[in-house]
Amino acid sequence: MDLISDRGRRVSVEELNTSKLLAHAAKQARDRKFEDVMIVDCDAHHYENEHMSEILPFMENEVFKQLAMAAGAKGSRGAVAPGTFGYQDMGGRVTRYPLRASEKTENNRVRDVQLGERWMDAMGVDYSCLFPTGMLNIGLHPQKEMEFELCWAYARWVTEKVIPESGGRLYTMLCLPFSDPEGCLRMVETFGDRPGVGGFMITTVRERMAVYDNAYMKLYRAIEERGLALSFHSGPNWGSQTFQSCNRFISAHALGFSWFNILHCTNWVVNGMGERFPKLPVIWIEAGLAWIPFLMQKLDHEYLLRPSECPILKKKPSDYMRDMFYSSQPMEIQDMGALETTFRMINAETQLLYASDYPHWDFDLPSTIWDLPFVSEKAKHNILGGTAARLFKLPPRNDGQKQNLIKFGNLKAA
Amino acid sequence: MPEQFVCKSSEFKNGERQIIRLGEDEVGVFKHEGEYYAYSNYCVHQGGPACEGLTIAKVEEHLRPDKTSMGLSFSEKDMNFVCPWHGYEYDMRTGCHVADKRIRLRKYKVVEKAGDVYVVA
């Protein structure tokens, strides 16, 4: 296939085959004997927006369903789901974006499951938490009714058509229609007990989001009492007022992922959500790690000066932050000393969860954790999968993994 | 020094590349403006197939004497190749990362003999 390069020049590259593209990852997995290490990828993606014709029929409200399905018809100018600006593929430099449609799969199995198996097998990943891609922008939809309908339809489709076909290797944390608190609660009550649902996810790509609002307390309680996780998935929003002065995508991207987690994590902590729901596992996803030491220091500093503004807290903000979980990707690895300090500050041995973010452009392989020189063997096993195995009750896939889970105290579900 | 046959010179067109095995390494061989360049196909970032992605002219930004920007443009002379995994971008002639020359791929010598192209280990 040809890719468009400079001045319209065409460059021939092979059609996409994920297994072939990731052949070097497979070599890394063999060299490191990952077969005996249980690896859980807490943040992988599929392109659900390429399956809207399958998803939209699951919408409940007939009027919104008709609007959505008509908008997808040929010749329509309609747009069902919101999008954001940007160049994730860097002009085709990350070739799996423009080549994605060229990848061949078997007709008799769910395409996204086949693609998931290819990248999991190549990386040595045993389980992946599957998140959508386009739906991460659902919080930008101006209609809360449509936000609910699309989240509902996706939840039905992914739990009824996709996850069940994965042989237990894919699980998910379902996207919540956060603009609709009652709708969120209904989602938890409806889907919370379904196989393959490890929790619920709130995309932080929103213009307004009050995580502390009383309207959400029933929702958090419902997730907590089911033993499920609540995750906040970050993302860039170049169109946001905050980033209007960024003239390069790199700026909006680098700041956006960090900023939205910083914003909502701050609100979560200073409003004492950790005191209110101490047994609710909260995971902050896809903002990397560098923002966490900054926020810990900043909030601890101001808390000692202004405790009257957050009287619910019984310990420092950083202590509450250390009670929460963080996904590893995209791990800022340029300054190894800074990264080591970050691991210490977040208590990575028990609070850090490996994530690839595959197939997105800045994915991390398991070797990014395994090869770190300052991390203990126990911490490597915990981060790569042991902690997630306990959190999501995932069993080992072979005896070598089982022995390692036992060795490091992570065998819960087997 | 052992040599590894790549292909016949007549079959190696400008703008094309070949990926060959050389001992434990994979090597990407490029032909660019009549010259051959060969580098390890393992990206120094996370080990991706560094030589198998897009080739694209270097993007530049020039300033006027008063320090105002003339905007972004493609270079007229510098060509890069890009690791398809994450976009690590390397200079075709040196194998150095375009943003940090200390980051570089292992470079191999390429020789042409009797109409054949070889990489020297």
Spatial separation of the C-alpha atoms in residues A320 and A296, rounded to whole Å:
9
In B11-50, the residues whose Cβ lies within 8 Å of chain A are: 15-16, 42, 46-49
3-state secondary structure B53-118: CCEEEEEEEEECCCCCEEEEEEEEEEEEEECCCCCCEEECCCCEECCCCCCECCEEEEEEECCEEE
Q: For residue A82, how far is the Cα from the chain centroid?
A: 18
> How far apart, in whole angstroms, are the C-alpha atoms of residue A324 and residue B4?
54
How close does chain A come to B43, measured CA to CA in Å?
Answer: 10
Residue A13: what pLDDT?
Answer: 87
Q: Tell me, what DSSP letter sits at residue A383? A: I
Distance CA A411, CA A402 (A): 7
As averages over each run of 10 residues, the pLDDT of chain A (414 residues) reads 91 92 98 98 96 96 95 74 89 95 94 98 98 95 96 98 98 98 98 98 93 98 98 95 95 96 97 98 98 98 98 98 98 97 98 98 98 98 98 97 96 65
For residues A185 and A190, give the distance between their C-alpha atoms in angstroms, rounded to a whole number.
Answer: 9
Identify from B86, B98, B100 which residue to disrupt to test chain A contact, counting A C-beta atoms within 10 A and taking the largest count: B86
Domain layout of chain B by residue ranges: 3-120
Give residue A266's identity as a one-letter amino acid code: T
Which chain A positions have a beta carbon within 8 Å of B54's beta carbon? 3, 5, 11, 13, 92-93, 95
Report yes or no: A233 and A204 within 8 Å, Cβ to Cβ: yes
CA distance to partner chain B, nearest, from residue A365 (Å): 7
Least Cα distance to A388 among A371, A368, A405 occurs for A405
How many angstroms from the chain centroid is the CA of residue A45? Answer: 8
B59, B74 Cβ separation under 8 angstroms: yes
Interface residue ranges in chain A relative to chain B, Cβ cutoff 8 Å: 3, 5-7, 11-14, 21, 23-25, 27-28, 90-96, 361-365, 367-368
Write down the ipTM of this complex.
Answer: 0.96
Which residues in A lie closer than 8 A to residue B87 (C-beta atoms)? Answer: 90, 93-94, 361
Closest residue of A to B24, CA-based?
A27
Q: How far is Cα A150 from Cα A403, in angstroms, rounded to an integer? A: 42
Mean pLDDT of the region B14-30: 95
CATH number for the region B3-120 comes to 2.102.10.10
Assess B73–A contact: CB distance below 8 Å, yes or no: no
Count CB atoms within 10 A of the CB of residue A305: 8
Sheet strands side by side (includes B89-91)? B55-63, B69-82, B89-91
Torsion, Cα A89 A94 A99 A105, to 10 degrees, reads -110
Beta bridge partners of B109: B120
CATH of domain A2-6+35-407: 3.20.20.140
Q: Where are the beta strands (DSSP E) in A250-295?
A: 282-285
The pair of structure tokens assigned to B6 is 């790549």
Q: Report how far residue A386's alpha carbon sits from residue A388's, in angstroms, rounded to the nearest whole number.
A: 5
How high is the mean pLDDT of chain B? Answer: 96
State how far the Cα of A165 lies from the Cα of A32, in Å rounded to an integer.
29
- Residue A74 CA from chain centroid, whole number: 32
Domain ranges of chain A: 2-6+35-407
